């Protein structure tokens, strides 16, 4: 049995924190009289905090100084963190634990590859931190997805070739990053949105043990 790198995105793959990001961004948008919808929120998936703010300001055609932007970024993160206080194991998305356990049993490399700077406390609170051999998050990379840096770094730290790596992602930018890195891309979500992925599943409950075993080879 070969050893492969299984790299997981966080938000939208392991936990559904997108709803908390949305609430926190909506508060900022409201205070600036910008109409920010659930549909607009799709544009922020997998995108860094700084870039997310620029997208929202762009929606409202709002110009701002760097000082103002920095203030909103702090406010947004404080508000976002307040939603995470009560987070626990119940927020791990259905089917994820079964796959993590299977990969551990089969002695595979397991990594996190996330744009979030809050990844570690989220993994801790939801009780899955110990599954991960390697964590690469928004604090460790300088280029955002679709740049493959985050996934290449994860594979490198696991000492596994990118060609022997598999990425689970819910964002278009993340799937593109995995494809550029020549990794196997597995989209978690809607086929219409993630059609560039090598494989697509609605969620982890749809992934059979045999699919993972085939990937391991």
The answer to whether residue 114 forms part of the interface with ligand B16 (CB under 6 A) is yes
Q: Using CA atoms, how far apart are residues 157 and 215, in angstroms rounded to an integer?
A: 20
* Binder among 7, 28, 44, 56 for ligand B16 (CB under 6 A): 44
- Window of 9-17, 116-124, 143-151, 195-203 that interacts with Mg ion by CB under 5 A: 9-17
The answer to whether residue 138 forms part of the interface with ligand B16 (CB under 6 A) is yes
Q: Using CA atoms, how far apart are residues 79 and 81, in angstroms rounded to an integer?
A: 5
- Least distance in Å: CB of 140 to ligand B16? 12
Map tokens 């085939």 to a residue: 214
* Binder among 108, 118, 165, 176 for ligand B16 (CB under 6 A): 118
Q: Is 9 considered catalytic here?
A: yes
**Runs of H (alpha helix) within the chain:** 18-31, 38-41, 49-59, 66-84, 96-105, 119-125, 149-158, 172-180, 209-216
The answer to whether residue 12 forms part of the interface with ligand B16 (CB under 6 A) is yes
Residue 165, judged by CB atoms within 10 A of its CB (0-12, 13-18, 19+), counts as buried
- Window of 46-54, 64-72, 91-99, 152-160 that interacts with ligand B16 by CB under 6 A: 46-54
- Window of 30-38, 41-49, 90-98, 197-205 that interacts with ligand B16 by CB under 6 A: 41-49
The answer to whether residue 110 forms part of the interface with ligand B16 (CB under 6 A) is no
The answer to whether residue 11 forms part of the interface with Mg ion (CB under 5 A) is yes
Q: Give 79's contacts (C-beta < 8 A, 6+ positions apart).
A: 23, 24, 27
Estimate the share of the chain in helix, then strand, then coil, as percent rounded to the nearest 5. 50, 15, 40
Residue number with CB closer to ligand B16 (11 or 204)? 11
Token pair for 199: 């494989």
Please count the residues of this chain forming the interface with ligand B16, following the rule CB under 6 A: 20
Catalytic residue annotation? 9, 11
Which residues of this protein are in contact with ligand B16, per CB under 6 A? Answer: 9-12, 21, 44-49, 52, 77, 114-118, 138, 171
């Amino acid at each position: 049995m070969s050893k492969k790198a299984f790299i997981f995105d966080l938000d939208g793959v392991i936990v559904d924190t997108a709803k908390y990001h949305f609430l926190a961004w909506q508060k900022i948008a409201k205070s600036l009289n910008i109409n920010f919808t659930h549909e607009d929120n799709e544009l922020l998936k997998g995108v860094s905090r700084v870039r997310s703010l620029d997208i929202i300001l762009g929606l409202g055609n709002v110009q701002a100084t760097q000082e103002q932007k920095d203030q909103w970024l702090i406010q947004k993160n404080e508000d976002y963190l307040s939603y995470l206080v009560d987070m626990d194991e119940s927020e791990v998305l259905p089917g994820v634990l079964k796959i993590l356990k299977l990969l551990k049993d089969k002695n595979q490399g397991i990594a996190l590859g996330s744009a979030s700077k809050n990844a570690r406390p989220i993994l801790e609170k939801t009780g899955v931190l110990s599954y991960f051999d390697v964590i690469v998050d928004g604090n460790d990379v300088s280029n955002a997805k679709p740049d493959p840096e985050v996934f290449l770094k994860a594979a490198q730290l696991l000492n596994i070739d990118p060609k022997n790596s598999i990425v689970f992602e819910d964002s278009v930018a993340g799937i593109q990053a995995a494809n550029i890195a020549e990794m196997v891309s597995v989209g978690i979500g809607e086929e219409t949105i993630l059609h560039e992925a090598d494989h697509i599943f609605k969620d982890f409950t749809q992934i059979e043990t045999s699919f993972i075993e085939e990937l391991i080879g």
